[in-house]
Amino acid sequence: MIQLVWLIPLLPLIGAIINGVAGSRMGKKAVGLVACLSMAAAFLISVSIFFSLIALPEEARSIEVGVFNWITSGSFQIDISFLVDPLSTLMILVVTGVGFLIHVYSAGYMHHDKSYWRYFSYLNLFVFFMLMLVLGSNYLVMFLGWEGVGLCSYLLIGFWYEKKSASDAGKKAFVVNRIGDFGFILGLFLLFWTLSSHGIHSLSYKTVFASVHELDPKVVTAIAALLFVGAIGKSAQFPLYVWLPDAMEGPTPVSALIHAATMVTAGVYMVARNNALYSMAPEVGQVVASIGIFTALFAASIGLVQDDIKKVLAYSTVSQLGYMFAAVGLGAYVAGVFHLMTHAFFKGLLFLGSGSVIHAMSGEQDMKKMGGLHRHLKTTSITFTIGALAIAGIPPLSGFWSKDEILWEAFSKGHLVIWAVGLLTAFMTAFYMFRQVFLTFSGECRADEHTKHHIHESPAIMTVPLMILAFLAIVGGVVGIPFFEGGSKLHHFLSPVLSHGSHAAAAVEGAGEAVAEAHSSLEFILMGVSVGAGVLGIFLAGLMYFPPLKSFAPSFWTAENMAGTFSPLHKLLYNKYYVDEIYDAVIVNPIKRLCGWCLSFDLGVIDGIVNSAAWITRFISWVSHKFDIYVVDGLVNSMATLVNFNSSIWRRMQTGYLQNYAFIFVLGVLIVLVRVLLG
Amino acid sequence: MIENAIHFPILTILILLPVLGGVIIAFIPRESKDAIRSAALGVTMVEFLLSIILLFYFDSSTYKMQFVEKAPWIPGIGVDYFLGMDGISLVLILLTTLLGIVSVLISWTAIEERVKEYMIYLLILETGMVGVFVALDMVLFFLFWEIGLVPMYFLIGVWGGPRKLYANIKFFLYTLFGSVFMLVGILALYYAHGNATGEYTFNLLKLYEVTYPFNLQWWVFIAFFLSFAIKVPVFPFHTWLPDAHVEAPTAGSVILAGVLLKMGTYGFLRFNLPLLAEASHAFTPYILALSVIGIVYGSFLAMAQNDIKKLVAYSSVSHLGAVMAGIFAMNQQGIDGGVIQMINHGISTGGLFLIIGMIYERRHTRLIGDFGGIAKVMPLYSVFVMIIVFSSIGLPGTNGFVGEILILMGLFKASPLASILAATGVILGAAYMLWMYQRVIFGKIKHHENAELKDLNAREFLTLLPIIALILWIGVYPKHFFKLTSASTAHIVEMVKKNQAKQQPAVGHASVEAKAKLVKAEGESR
Amino acid sequence: MTGPEITGGFPILSTLIFFPALGALFIIFFLKKEWDVLIRWVALGVASVEFLLSLYLPFTFDANDPGLQWVEKTIWIKRFGISYYLGVDGISLLLVLLTTLITVICVLASWTDIKEKLKGYMALFLLTETFSLGVFMAMDMFLFYIFWEAVLIPMVFIIGIWGGQRKLYSAIKFFIFTFVGSLFMLLGVLALYYYHGKLTGTYTFDSVVLSQSIIAPAIQFWIFVAFFLGFAVKVPMFPFHTWLPDAHTDAPTAGSIVLAAVLLKLGTYGFIRFSLPLLPNASIQLGPFMAGISIFAIIYGALCTIAQKDIKKLIAYSSVSHMGFVMLGIFVFNVEGLKGGVLQMVNHGISTGALFLLVGMIYERAHTRMIGDYTGLFKQLPVYGVFFLIIALSSMGMPLTNGFIGELFVLLGAFKANIFYAIPVVIGVLLGAVYLLWLFQRIFLGNYYYGGKGPLLDLGFREIIVALPLIILVFWIGIFPKPFLMAMDASLNNLIKQVETNYRKGSDASANVTARLQAPSAERAGQ
C-alpha cells in the first residue's frame, strides 16, 4: 500500500487537469464530483497508508518511494520521490481529510460562480502541491510543493480577478512568499554544498539528517536560519505576515484550506521536519520561538479590533501560527505539530463557518452589520462557537490540549517570557474570538432589510462539513492528551521522526520529560491558569458584546468607550500598526523610485554613451570632411592658382578631335623622353 | 569529409534548406500570399523534422563532435568548411528550428505587407542561426554570426515599428562593433596556435589543444567578450535590446530573444571557457558582477516599463544575466543550468513575445495601461499567458525553475554572495511579471475596445502549444534535455578545470583527482 | 636580345590589347554619328568578344607556374633597350579579367544614359580598355609607362565631355594630378634604367631583367619615392586623393565605374609589380610608413565618407578607405596580406563598380544624387534595394560576400606583420559598416519620400542583367574563393620570395654597391 503513495498527489493533479482542460464544458455537477472524488480517494489512500504504517514496527516506519529522477547535473541528483513516515502521514491525513471536507463545502459555497470549474481546478492543484510539499523525500521536492502552493494561493486569492484588491492581494502574497523562498533556496544551496564538501551529494532528508552532525554547527545555524526565512514567508510570521490578511480576498473556503489549515502551516512542518538541523542550532531555535511568540501577540492584538469577520480570523491564524513556531522553536516539535493539526480542524471550521455567515449575508463581511444570526443559522452558529471555544483553549476541546502543551513546554523549558506572552495571547484570542461570536450571532440583526430578508441557513453540503469539523475540533485533541497510559499517543507516534536530531537534543528531550513527570502537579496548575485566561477573555468579551451580559458590565467597559479612552492605541491596532503603510514607505515606494532612476540611468547614461559615440563619430566625420575640402584639397587648388595654369590651352584642347589629343599627348611625352634619353 | 552515423551531410542540409526554401519562395508570385506562407511553413517544418532526425542518431554518451563534415574552404590559411555538433549545439538547433516554425505561424496574419520578402528573410535568418551552432571553424562561425544580422536588419527595418531606423542601426552597428573585435581575437588565436604548433588553422578543435599564454588569453578574452557580451546582452551593453525588441515585428522579437541572444552565451561556452580558461578564471569576478548587476538592474528596469514588450525585453537582460552567471560559475550545475536556461529563455521569452504579438495584432497597442480585464474575454489566452509568465518567473514544475535552481546552485558554490544577489532577481522577477499580468489580464475591462476581443484561434493555439508543452516537459522531466547536454557540459567543465590545473599544477591536479574519486565513490554507492 | 618569342603559340595578349582599339577605330571611321543603335551594339559586341577572348586566359592558365604566361616579347627600339614585352601571371590575370568584364558592363550601363556624341564615347571606352590591359600586361617598363599615360587620355575626355556640372574642373584636376605623378614615375623608371645600365652594362627597360639587379638601398629609396608619387596618385593614397571625389562625381556613370574598378587598380598594381620586387629594400624600409598612411587613409576616408550627402561622393570617398586596405595588404609583406590586397583590388572593382552602376541607375531616373532626396525606397524598388544591399554588404565585408574574404586576408596579413595594425583596421571596418548601412538606411528604409524628377521604377531587365554578373561574383568569391586565391597563389608566393631574396641581397650588397658606385669609371671604360 505504501508503495502507492504517489497516487495521493497524483489523484488531485488528475482532477485539476480534468477540470482545467474540460471543466468549462462539463457542467457544475461533474466538476464538483471530479474534484471531490479525487480528494476522497486521496484521503482513503492516506488512511490506508496510515494503517499500513502503524502496522509496521516503529523503527521501520520510514519508507522512501522513488518515482523518477528529476534533475541531474553532475553530482547534483534529485529524484521525485516520497517519504512515508509518521510526520508525513499525519500531514497527508490532515491535508486530504480537511481538504476533502473543504472541497465538499466549496461545491455548495461556489455554486453560483461562473468559474466553478476553474475554482476546483485550482483547488485540486493546490492539494497536489501541498501533498508534494509534505510527502517529498528531499528538499527540492519540498521546494517544488512549497512554490507550487504559493502559485495556487496566488491564483485562488486572485480568483475574482476583476476586483483589483483581489489581484493585488494575490500578487502581494506571491511576492512576499518569494522573499521567504529566497532565503529557503539559499539555505538549500548552503546545505547542498556543505554536504558536498563532505562527499555527500544528496538533498534527501535521510542522508542529510544522518550526516548533519558531521557539519560545522555554525554552518548548520546559517542553514537553519535561512530555511526559517522561508518559513517566515510561507507561514506568515512577522515581518512577512502582511500578505495573509490581504489573502482573505479569496473565496472563503480557500481561506479555510490554504490560509488556515494547510499551506500556511508548511513552515511549521518544515521546521519540524528539519528538527535534526534545528536541534543543532539552538540559537536559531531561540529566534524561531521569539519571532513566533511575538507574532502571536502582535497579530492577536490587531485581531482585537478588526471588524471584518475574515480579517479577524486571518490575524488569528497569524497569531496561532506564531504559537506553533514558538513551540517548534523551543524544540517542542510534537507540540507544534499537534497544534498544527488541531488548528487545521478548528480554524478550518471557523473559516467555513464565517463563509456560511457571509453566504447567508449575501457577501457582507463587516461584523458591525451582522448580529442575531443565531436565530437563522443554528448549525453554523453552534459549530462556529465550538470552533471558538476550541481556539480559546477551553477544555476538553482540541485546542486546549495543543495550546496547553505549548505553554507547558515553554514553561517547563524555562522560557517564562514566552509562556507569559503565550498566556496573554491566549487571553486575547479568547477575547477576540468571542467578540466575533457575540457580534455575529447574538443580539439584534444590524443588517439592512434587503439582506435580512435573504438570510438563510446554508445547504447540507456546507453544513455537514461544518459538523464534521466541529466534531474533530472537539475530539481532535484526544491523540495528544498526555494523561493517558503511555503518555500522548501523538508524541509516541511522531517520536521516531521528531527526536531524530542529535544526541544532545534527545538528551534535552529526555530531561524535559523527566521534568514533566516531576512537575505533573505544576502542569495542572498551569492548565488552570491558561483555562482561566481563556475564560476571562470570553467573559470580558461577553461583558462588552453579549447583550444579556452587557447590562452587568461597568460603564466604562463598552466598545465605544474603550475605543475613545484608548483612542491612539485603538487607532494603532485598527490600522494594524500601519505596517502596510510602513512597507509602502520604506520598501515598495523606494523600489519603485529606484526603478525610475534605473530607467533614467539606462536612457540617459548608458544609452547616452552609445548615442554620443554615434554623434561623436559623425562630428569627427564632419571635421574630416571639412579638412579634406579646405585643407587637403585647398592646398591643391591654391597651388593651381599659384602656378596659374593657362586655361586657354585647355580650352583649345577641349574643342579638338580625340585623335589630336592623343597625338599631341604622346608626342609631348615622346619629346620629353627623347630629350631625357639623349641627355 | 563526412563522419557521421548516417553518412549523409545532414548539417549542411540543415543549413542550406531554409535558404533553398527562400529561393523557392522567391519564385512564388507576390500576390499568392497564402502559398508563400504555406511554403515557408513547409520549409520550417521539414527543417524541424530534419533536426529531430539528429536527435535519433545523436550519441549522448560522448562530448565529441558528431555529424562532422569537413571540407577545405579557403585554401592556404587553414579555413575549412567544418561542421559538427555536440549536445549543447543540438538543443539549440532544436530550439532554433522549432522557433522557426513558430515565427512563421505567428506572422501568418500579422504580416500582410511584402509577405514574400519577409518569409525569405526569416528563412535566411534560420540558416544563419543553425550555422552558428554547428560551425567548428572559427571563420565559418564568424561568417554565420554575421549573416544573421542581415535578415534581422530587414525584419526590423522594413516591418518594424515607428522608431525602427534608430533601433535598427543601433542593433546592427552595436553587434558589428563587437564582432569585429571577435574577428581580431580569432586571428590572435590563429597566430598563437600557428606559432606554437606550426599548424595554422581555424579549426576549433585543434585550437582547443593548445594552452595559450595568459597575456594573450587576456586580450583575446576581451575581444570575444565584447562581441558575445553585446549579443547576450550583458550589462552595460544591453541598450540596443529594448529598442530592437520594441521595433521588431513579433517573429523578429521571438527569434531575437529566442535564438539570437543565445548565440552570445553559446559563444562564451564554446570559446571563452574552453579556449581561454585562465583568462576566464581571471575575469570571472567581473563577469559575475556584471551578470548580477544585469539581473537586478534588468528587473528594476522591467518594473518601470509601461510597454509590455519593453518589459519583456528588459526581463531578457535579467534572465540572460542569470545564464551568464551560471556559465561563469564554471561548475557542472552552473553550466548545466546556463544551458538549460538558454533553452528555457528561448521558450519562455519567445512565448511572451508571441502572446504580446497576438494581443498587439488585435489591439495595435502594447501599453499595459490599455489593457486590463483580458481574462474575461480571452480566458484561454490568459491561461497561456499565465503559464508562460510562471515559467519566466521560474516556478517549480516549469522549465524556468530547473534552470534557475541549477544556476543559483552552481553560482552559490562559485560565489555565495553573487548567488544571493542573483536570487533577488527571482523575487523581482515575480514582482514585475505578476504586476504586468495583473494589469493586463486581471481587473475590470476599462477600455471598451477590449470588450470585443476574440480569444485565440486555432492557429494561435497551435503556435503556443509547443511552447506550453516544452515549459511543462522541461519543468517536470528535464532529464531528456540534460541527457543530451550533460556529456558536453561536463567536458567544458573538465576543460576549464584542466587548463586551470595547468596553471597551478599541484592544487588543480589534486582537486581533479579528488573529484574523480568522489564521482567514483558515488557511482559505487548507487 | 633575340627575335620575337611567344609562349603559348598565339599572341593572345596582343590580341586582347588591340582588339578593343581596333573596335574603337572601326567605330570612329566606319560608323556614322547618327547610327546610335548600331554604335551601341558594335561597342557591346567588341567588348563582349573581348571578354570572351579574355576567358581564354583562365582556361589555359597554369596555376602552379609562378612566372609569366602567354609571354610575347620582341625588340621594339633596340637602341634604348625597349622591347614589346607582354605577359600575364597570377597577379595580373584577375585584373585583366576584371577589366574586360567591367568594360562590357560599362557599355551596357551607358546604353540609355549617354545620348550625345555616342560615337566618341564608345570609342574612348574601348581605348581605355586597350590601355588598361596594356598596363596590366606590359612587362617592359617603357611600354608600361606608355600605356599608363595613354590610359589617362580617354578618361580625361570621358569626364570632360560627358561629365556633370563641374566636369572641366574635375577633368583638369584629374589630369594634372595623375600626369604630374606619372612624370615622377617616369623619372624613377629612367633612373632605374640608367642605374641598371651602369651596373651591368645592359641598358634595358625589361622589368624582369631589372628585377634581378641589386640596387643600393639609398638609390632604391629615391626611385621608390618617384614610383610612389606616380602610383599613389592613381591609387589614390592620402593626401593625393582629392581628385577622386571630384572626378567620380562629375564622371558619367560608366566613367565612374571604370575609374573605380580599373583605373585605381593601376596604382596598386604598379606597387606590386614594380615597387616591391625592384625596390625591396626601400619597400620594406618604408613599409611601416606605407602601412601607416594606408591605415590613416582607411579611417580618414571612412570618416569623410560618413559626412557626405552626395551618394556618388560618398562612394568615391569610400574608395579611398577601401584602397587603403589594398595598400595595407601589399605593404605588410606576407602572402596573406598580398593575397588580400590583390583580392581586394578585384573586390573593390566589383563592389564599388557595382555601387556606381547602381547609383547611375537611380540617377538616370531621378537626376539627383543627394541622399536626402530619397527615403524609404525599399517598398518602391525592392529588386534595386536588394541589389544595393548585397553590394553594400559586400563593400563592408560581410561574410559570404567577396569583401569578407578580402578583408580577412588583409587582416590576417596585417595581424601577422604587426598586431597593432589590426585595431585601426578593425575600426575602419566598423566605420565602413557605419556609412554603408547608414546610406542604405537613409535611402531605402523609413517613410517614403522622393525628391527627384523622373518616375521611379524598379530595375528593368537590362539593368538586372548588367548588375547580375557583379552580384554573382560577389557571392562566388564570397562562398567559393578557391579558384581566385589559387590563381594568384603561386605568383604571390614567388613574389614574396623574390622580395625577400632581393632584400637580403640588397642589404648584403649595400656596402659593395656603394663601393662600386664610387668607382664607375672602369665600367664606363668597358662600355
Q: Report if residue B18 sits inside a domain.
A: no
Which of A68, A73, A195 should we substitute to test contact with B (largest number of B Cβ atoms within 10 Å)? A73
Tell me the pLDDT tens digit for each residue of C207-217: 888 888 778 88
| pTM metric for this prediction | 0.87
pLDDT at A202: 83
Mind giving me the DSSP string for B50-68? HHHHHHHH--TT--S-EEE
Q: B431 at the A interface (CB within 8 A)?
A: yes
Residues of chain A with pLDDT under 50: 500-512, 515, 648, 656, 679
pLDDT at A639: 66
Nearest 10 degrees: Cα torsion B202, B208, B213, B218: 80
How many Å from the N-terminal Cα to the C-terminal Cα in chain C?
A: 17
Task: Test B176 with C393 for CB contact under 8 angstroms.
Answer: no
Q: What integer is the mean pLDDT of B468-491?
A: 89
Comparing B30-39, B295-304, C75-84, which segment has the lowest mean pLDDT?
Answer: C75-84
- The tally of domains found in chain B comes to 1
Cα–Cα distance, A147 to C409 (Å, whole number): 56
Q: Which domain holds residue B312?
A: 276-483
Q: Which helix (H) or strand (E) holds B280?
A: helix B277-303
Name the CA radius of gyration of chain A, rounded: 37
B409 contacts on A by Cβ (under 8 Å): 76, 188-189, 192-193
CA A197 to chain CA mean position, Å: 32
Contact B164, B244 (CB under 8 A): no
Q: Which helix (H) or strand (E) holds C85?
A: strand C82-88
Q: Report if residue B395 sits inside a domain.
A: yes
Tell me the pLDDT tens digit for each residue of C297-308: 999 989 888 888
Q: Looking at the predicted structure, is the pLDDT value of residue B133 above 90?
A: yes
How many Å from the N-terminal Cα to the C-terminal Cα in chain B?
A: 42
**Residue of B301, B409, B493 with shortest CB distance to A598:** B301
Residue whose C-alpha cell reads 582599339 in the numeric block: C21
Tell me how many degrees the CA angle A539-A545-A549 measures, rounded to the nearest 5: 60
Residues contacting residue B53 through CB under 8 Å, at least 6 positions apart? B6, B10
pLDDT at B2: 62
Tell me the pLDDT tens digit for each residue of C331-367: 988 888 999 999 999 999 999 999 999 998 888 888 8
Nearest Cα to Cα of residue A494 among A197, A175, A245, A275: A275
Contact B315, B437 (CB under 8 A): no
pLDDT at B323: 93
Q: Which residues of A427-462 are buried (b: 16+ CB within 10 A; e: fewer)?
A: bbbbbbbbbbbbbbbbbebebeeebeeebebbeebb
Question: Residue B510 CB: number of other CB atoms within 10 A?
Answer: 12
Question: Residue B175 CB: number of other CB atoms within 10 A?
Answer: 26
Residues contacting residue A668 through CB under 8 Å, at least 6 positions apart? none
Q: What integer is the mean pLDDT of B351-376?
A: 87
Cα–Cα distance, C433 to B309 (Å, whole number): 29
Question: For residue A217, what are the CA distances in angstroms to A212, A222, A224, A277?
Answer: 9, 9, 10, 9
Question: A70 — phi, psi (to 5°)?
Answer: -95, -70
Q: Residue C374 carries which DSSP code? A: E
Tell me the pLDDT tens digit for each residue of B269-296: 999 998 998 899 999 999 999 999 999 9
Cα–Cα distance, B41 to B104 (Å, whole number): 6
Tell me the pLDDT tens digit for each residue of A610-667: 888 888 888 888 888 888 888 888 777 776 666 555 554 555 555 545 555 555 666 6
Contact B195, B188 (CB under 8 A): no
Nearest 10 degrees: Cα torsion C423, C428, C429, C430: 90
Residues contacting residue A416 through CB under 8 Å, at least 6 positions apart? A410
Cα–Cα distance, C138 to C507 (Å, whole number): 29
A457: three-class secondary structure by DSSP: coil
Q: Residue C140 carries which DSSP code? A: B
Q: What integer is the mean pLDDT of C279-283?
A: 88
- Cell reading at C85: 614585352
pLDDT at A362: 81
Question: For residue A292, what are the CA distances in angstroms to A232, A318, A321, B346, C315?
Answer: 9, 9, 7, 43, 77
A614 contacts on B by Cβ (under 8 Å): 173
Cα–Cα distance, A121 to A21 (Å, whole number): 9
Tell me the pLDDT tens digit for each residue of A95-115: 999 999 999 988 888 888 888
Task: Test B409 with A76 for CB contact under 8 angstroms.
Answer: yes
Contact C17, C88 (CB under 8 A): no
Which of C130, C148, C153 should we substitute to test contact with A (largest number of A Cβ atoms within 10 Å)? C153
Which of B175, B301, B524 should we substitute to test contact with A (largest number of A Cβ atoms within 10 Å)? B301
Cα–Cα distance, C434 to B282 (Å, whole number): 34
> Which of the four pLDDT bands, split at 50, 70 and 90, describes residue C515?
low
pLDDT at C167: 84
Q: Which helix (H) or strand (E) holds B339?
A: helix B332-363
Q: Report if residue B89 sits inside a domain.
A: no
Cα–Cα distance, C89 to C67 (Å, whole number): 6
Q: C161-170, C387-396, C509-518: which has the highest mean pLDDT?
A: C387-396
Q: Scanning every residue of chain A, which has its alpha carbon at the shortest distance from the alpha carbon of C161?
A: A654
Tell me the pLDDT tens digit for each residue of C185-225: 988 888 888 888 888 888 888 888 888 877 888 888 888 99
Tell me the pLDDT tens digit for each residue of B23-32: 999 888 888 8
**Residue of B304, B373, B438 with shortest CB distance to A598:** B304
Residues contacting residue C398 through CB under 8 Å, at least 6 positions apart? B146, B147, B149, B150, C404
Helical axes A28-55 vs A116-135, angle rounded to 10°? 20
Q: Report if residue B47 sits inside a domain.
A: no
Question: Residue A225 CB: number of other CB atoms within 10 A?
Answer: 18
Q: Report if residue B440 sits inside a domain.
A: yes
Task: Test B337 with A73 for CB contact under 8 angstroms.
Answer: yes
From B195's Cα to the closest Cα of chain A, the distance in A is: 37
pLDDT at B1: 57
From C300's Cα to the closest Cα of chain A, the distance in A is: 7
A618 contacts on C by Cβ (under 8 Å): 306-307
Q: What integer is the mean pLDDT of C391-413?
A: 89
Q: Report if residue B352 sits inside a domain.
A: yes
- Cell reading at B459: 492557429
pLDDT at C48: 93
Q: Report if residue B330 sits inside a domain.
A: yes
Residues 237-296 of A with CB under 8 A from C: none
Can the peptide bond before residue C236 be classed as cis, meaning omega within 30 degrees of 0?
Answer: yes
Residue whose C-alpha cell reads 490575524 in the numeric block: A315
Can the peptide bond before residue C239 be classed as cis, meaning omega within 30 degrees of 0?
Answer: yes
Residues 96-115 of B with CB under 8 A from C: 114
Task: Test A199 with B304 for CB contact under 8 angstroms.
Answer: no
pLDDT at B469: 92
Q: Residue C5 carries which DSSP code? A: E
List, in sequence order, the alpha helices (H) in B107-148: 115-134, 138-147
**Residue of B139, B153, B165 with shortest CB distance to C408:** B139
Give the rounded percent of residues in chain C with a pLDDT score beyond 70.
95
Tell me the pLDDT tens digit for each residue of C35-59: 888 888 999 999 999 999 999 999 9
Q: Looking at the predicted structure, is the pLDDT value of residue C525 above 50?
A: no
pLDDT at A59: 81
Tell me the pLDDT tens digit for each residue of A358-385: 888 888 888 888 878 888 888 888 899 9
Q: Report if residue B375 sits inside a domain.
A: yes
Residues 44-83 of B with CB under 8 A from C: 72-77
A82: three-class secondary structure by DSSP: strand
Cα–Cα distance, A346 to A316 (Å, whole number): 11
CA A44 to chain CA mean position, Å: 27
The upper half-sphere exposure of residue C64, i.e. CA atoms within 13 Å in the direction of its Cβ, equals 0
